[in-house]
Amino acid sequence: MEPVLFLIYALAACGGALAVVLSQNVVRMAFWLVISLGSLAGLFFLLGAEFLGAAQLLIYVGGTVVLLIFGVMLTASGPYLTIKSSPGDYLMAATVGILLLGTLAYGVLRVDWQANQDVIAGQSYFDGERDNAGTYRTVEEGATAQSVGSALLGTRFDRDLNTNRTDKGSTGYLLPFEIVSVHLLVVLVGAAYLARAKRRVRQNPVE
Amino acid sequence: MDVKLSAYLAVAAVLFTCGIVCMATKRNAIGVLMGVELVLNGANLNFVAFSRYGNLGIDGQVAALFVIVLAAAEAAVALAIALNFYNNHLTIDIDRGDELHG
State how far the Cα of A145 lies from the Cα of A48, in Å rounded to an integer. 10
CA of A188: how far to CAs of A118, A196, A198, in Å? 44, 12, 18
Higher per-residue confidence, A128 vs B69: B69
ipTM of the complex: 0.91
pLDDT in tens, A88-109: 888 999 999 999 999 999 988 8
Q: How far is residue A114's CA from residue A120's CA, in Å, rounded to a whole number? A: 9
Q: Which chain A residues have a beta carbon less than 8 Å from that of B48?
A: 43-44, 47, 49, 52
Task: Test B61 with A51 for CB contact under 8 angstroms.
Answer: yes
The nearest alpha carbon in chain A to B87 belongs to: A75
Does residue A187 carry a pLDDT above 80? yes
State which residue of chain B sits closest to A94, comparing Cα positions.
B21
pLDDT in tens, A24-59: 888 899 999 999 999 999 999 998 888 999 999 999
Per-residue pLDDT of chain B (102 residues), as tens digits, is 577 888 899 999 999 999 999 998 988 889 999 999 999 999 999 999 888 887 667 888 899 999 999 999 999 999 999 888 888 888 888 888 888 876
Count of positions (residues) in chain B: 102
Task: Decide if B58 contacts A148 (C-beta within 8 A).
Answer: yes
Instruction: Report CB contact under 8 Å: B31, A26.
Output: yes
Main-chain dihedrals φ then ψ at residue B93, nearest 5 degrees: -75, 115
Question: Looking at chain B from residue 30 to 89, which residues have their Cβ under 8 Å from any Cβ of chain A?
Answer: 30-31, 33-35, 37-38, 41, 44-45, 48-55, 57-59, 61-62, 64-66, 68-77, 79-84, 86-87
Per-residue model confidence as pLDDT tens digits over A153-163:
887 776 666 55
By the 8 A CB rule, do A78 and A41 touch? no
Chain B residues with beta carbon closer than 8 angstroms to that of A50: none
Confidence check: pLDDT of A186 > 70: yes
The Cβ of residue A177 has, within 10 Å, a number of other Cβ atoms equal to: 18
The span from the CA of B17 to the CA of B10, in Å, is 11
* CB-facing half-sphere around the CA of B59: CA atoms within 13 A: 12
Strand partners, A73: none
Return the half-sphere exposure (C-beta side, CA atoms, 13 A cut-off) of residue A115. 4
A39 touches chain B (CB under 8 A): no
* A99 vs A94: CA distance, rounded Å: 8
Which residue did the predictor score with more confidence, A166 or B57?
A: B57
